[in-house]
A and B are shown apart, each in its own frame.
Chain A
């Protein structure tokens, strides 16, 4: 990880289905990124869950994570939150 690593959080809207958490954490594990905190809850729509995942990384890692997460079939939306956006 480069010097410019900062804390970042992604907010995901995902299918509320077994195995989805696995697919998402698998993406982090494959690239060797530690998850600092993870929060999952069912939304107002029982078919959707909302996830908040905090991690550390530079701009490159943040962009890659958002783009890789967006590719997953079970992921419906991704919002990136960093020190400058929150």
Chain B
């Protein structure tokens, strides 16, 4: 069958099970948009307000659904606007295929209008990228792109398609074409023996679980491992939702702003089992002390992560689910009441304040109580993000969309749109700050046009909270450029976009708003909080458990 390049792209998207794409048209992708139009709706294209919003939406869609997200942008500025979104997906191992247009093949390399070398620009932040200079290579390239994005450790793949290639006609084969696959690593029987022996020697096992557990779908195996070993589970931020909040041995997040019990138990443990995590500096602090007095077992699908930041005693390069399945087949129950008792003590030492103030913890807990269950929660980046990951009780995998590795302010609204669409447009909550929301709030127009019931809770403190907290702690309270003084009326702004907007000043007002929401309208709730609310616990950068600050 003879098709033009644009038709091949559409056919390939359908073949790879794509039903929703996010994007923004422009000169160099008009042939592709023409085919999307003619195709008549088997692929739902979501038009965002800015390409960055589209990239974050495709990312949020992928995180919530486990499918590969797809974003389309034109050449030049369209392509460069994707860069933050692609870097974000790269650092959090999110499967994403980004399709960009480019100038026609004869115009490439001549600084033509709206030409950039997006393959060169994105090279360090993609799993792989392609420029397709011949329509005959397009079909196989897209097969390869989807394979790379979704296999092994997932990640973003960019495919740059010059306009002339979109128009050129060639044979569409519906065949996979030949491309090599990377070897699939697996756990070796000797590794299982070594792990069993380490677990028998140890008295205080601890599991540190990351995003790889969710990517490989190993939530049940993780829980079984924890139960059999009497091992508490601490999570990286990407690992949150891998195990329900109410599971007795789930201690929550570890790391710089992790829970007290999670951090102390980790430091007291003598066998540390690390599953699908990469020891980010935000998660470890001082690496020497992190590693001290324990046997570390690191299981990860990416061999380059093993020994990169923390050198383990036993290393296993494998898919977490496959490795745990084989390990569990030989692992006996190792009930450990003494360690369980200690974990209970630590949980009781967790610092909790209880009052009815209109503070971040109470706002988050009230939202969870009313919207809870399997609602998808998106966050932006900053103090509000830390409060959400500390206080929200996640029950199901893939219900948290947050920018971990890149820490990209402005991620949240796009991600919430993508997450909401991946979840049949069911109610979705975005917690954001006034700083983060200001970065990409223009996507409110997308949430309105798509009739998405997204609740946007702005924890509005009038400052850039994390810089301010660090300036208070490390820079003598010199609040350089972190006070916003913007006087934005967010409720009025929401209404101008065609959304609903409210201001809440206490918990009863918030409750009333949350109980009376519209089904198809995004709602902004501006919650004024104090500018000196801080995130605790905190282990300062490069510090260890001895440096933990639990309250002001």
- A→B interface (CB under 8 Å): 19, 22-23, 26, 30, 60, 63-64, 67-68, 70-74, 76
Contacts and interface: CB of A to CB of B under 8 A. Distances in A.
B123 A22 contact: yes
A73 B148 contact: yes
Closest 10 CB pairs of A and B: A67-B304, A73-B128, A68-B304, A67-B303, A71-B304, A26-B123, A73-B148, A30-B124, A26-B124, A23-B123
Nearest to B306: A67
Nearest to B144: A73
B137 to A, nearest CB: 11
B119 interface: yes
Contacts of A74: 128
A73 B307 CA distance: 21
B302 interface: yes
B148 A22 contact: no
Contacts, number: 29
A19 B128 CA distance: 12
B180 interface: yes
B127 A64 contact: no
Interface string B92-120: 00000000000000000000000000011
Contact of B303 (A60, A70, A73): A70
B303 A19 contact: no
A77 B256 CA distance: 38
A63 B307 contact: yes
B308 interface: yes
B332 to A, nearest CB: 33
A64 B308 contact: yes
A22 B124 CA distance: 10
Nearest to A71: B304
Secondary structure class of chain A's binding surface, majority of residues? helix
A71 B93 CA distance: 14
A64 B302 CA distance: 12
Interface in B284-312: 302-304, 306-308
Contacts of B128: 72-74
Contacts of A23: 123
Contacts of B124: 26, 30
B97 to A, nearest CB: 14
Given A73-B128, A73-B148, A76-B180, A64 B123 contact: no
A64 B305 CA distance: 9
A65 to B, nearest CB: 9
Contacts of B119: 19
Please indicate which of the listed interface residues A22, A60, A73, A76 has the most CB atoms of chain B within 10 Å of its own CB: A73
A68 B148 CA distance: 16
Contacts of B306: 67
Contacts of A30: 124
B402 to A, nearest CB: 25
A64 B180 contact: no
A63 B302 CA distance: 13
Contacts of B304: 64, 67-68, 70-71
5 contacts: A60-B307, A64-B308, A67-B304, A68-B304, A71-B304
Given A19-B119, A70-B304, 12 more contacts: A22-B120, A26-B123, A26-B124, A64-B304, A64-B308, A71-B303, A72-B128, A73-B127, A73-B148, A73-B182, A74-B128, A76-B180
B237 to A, nearest CB: 23
Contacts of B307: 60, 63-64
Contacts of A63: 307
B314 to A, nearest CB: 16
Contacts of A73: 127-128, 148, 182
Contacts of A72: 128
A50 B196 CA distance: 42
B61 to A, nearest CB: 24
A30 to B, nearest CB: 6
Nearest to A60: B307
A58 B314 CA distance: 21
A35 to B, nearest CB: 17
A7 to B, nearest CB: 21
A73 B126 CA distance: 11
Contacts of A22: 120, 123
A30 B315 CA distance: 25
A76 B303 CA distance: 15
Nearest to B119: A19
Nearest to B147: A73
Contacts of B302: 71
Contacts of B148: 73
Interface in B388-414: none
Nearest to A30: B124
